[in-house]
Copies of this chain bind each other. A is one copy, B any other.
Amino acid sequence: MIDKDLKERIKEVAVEHFNSNGYHGTTIRNIAKDVNCSLPMIYYYYRNKKELFDEIIKKEFFNLIKRQASLLRMDNVIDFYTKFVYDLNFLSSYDKQVYRLGIKVYLSFDGDEELKGLMDEWEKTILPRHYQILKPYLKNVENEIAVVRTLVHLLETMIENIVVKNRYMPEKEIREELAIVLRDCE
């Protein structure tokens, strides 16, 4: 068999389907067809449809954003955030789709209450984390918290642009927008 691990391939195809058609619009039969395996094979590796969806969010998505968050290093704070956003353009198609699916759940457009709860937990950590990052650079800034909040909001839209709408954002545009919000930093 030249195939990658079948379980892995099922998950990859499932990501595509959940992304394009949502949880309810995705059928196990269609996944099986695209994976080129029989329908019960999916039940061989995953207890049911919900477990398949949950594994994508719980493992793949949260791994991805933790991986992304760990990339945060900096000297110049604008350089740093620019690179952070710009690099999203070059995520693998799989990672982008996992990210997109996660945002869909984050916005309560899919998934169940349990997954939404996990998202809310994660969300609570966002602002403090960026505040920690920015703190040393916010000396001559008036309303620190507002700047951090605005930055986070701006990041959210840019991430959505690249990952959800699947648009390429040039580095110049990213830098320009970040510079407007962070102009008094450092």
Which residues does A use to contact B, with CB under 8 Å? 21-25, 104, 107-110, 143, 146-147, 149-150, 153-154, 156-158, 160-161, 164-165, 173, 176-177, 180-181
Compute how far the CA of A94 lies from the CA of B27 in the bound complex, rounded to whole angstroms.
31
Q: Which residues of B contact A177 (CB under 8 A)?
A: 146, 149-150, 153
Q: Chain B nearest CB: distance from A158 CB in Å?
A: 7
Beyond contacts A23-B24, A146-B173: 20 other A-B pairs, Cβ-Cβ < 8 A, are A21-B24, A22-B25, A107-B160, A107-B164, A107-B165, A108-B164, A108-B165, A109-B109, A143-B180, A146-B177, A147-B180, A150-B154, A150-B176, A150-B177, A153-B158, A153-B161, A153-B177, A156-B157, A156-B160, A180-B181
Most central of A23, A109, A161, A164 by chain B CB within 10 Å: A109
Q: Which residues of B contact A157 (CB under 8 A)?
A: 153-154, 156-157
CB-nearest residue of chain B relative to A25? B24
**With contact pairs A160-B107, A164-B107 given, residues A181 and B150 touching in the complex (Cβ less than 8 Å):** yes
CB-nearest residue of chain B relative to A147? B180
Pick from B104, B153, B154, B158: contact of A109, CB under 8 Å: B104
Q: Which residues of B contact A153 (CB under 8 A)?
A: 154, 157-158, 161, 177
Compute how far the CA of A68 lies from the CA of B110 in the bound complex, rounded to whole angstroms.
27
Q: Which residues of B contact A181 (CB under 8 A)?
A: 150, 180-181
Q: Which residues of B contact A107 (CB under 8 A)?
A: 109, 160, 164-165
- 21 pairs of residues in contact across A and B, judged by CB atoms under 8 Å: A22-B24, A22-B25, A22-B109, A24-B24, A25-B25, A104-B109, A107-B109, A107-B160, A107-B165, A108-B164, A109-B110, A146-B176, A146-B177, A147-B180, A149-B173, A153-B158, A153-B161, A153-B177, A154-B154, A156-B157, A180-B180
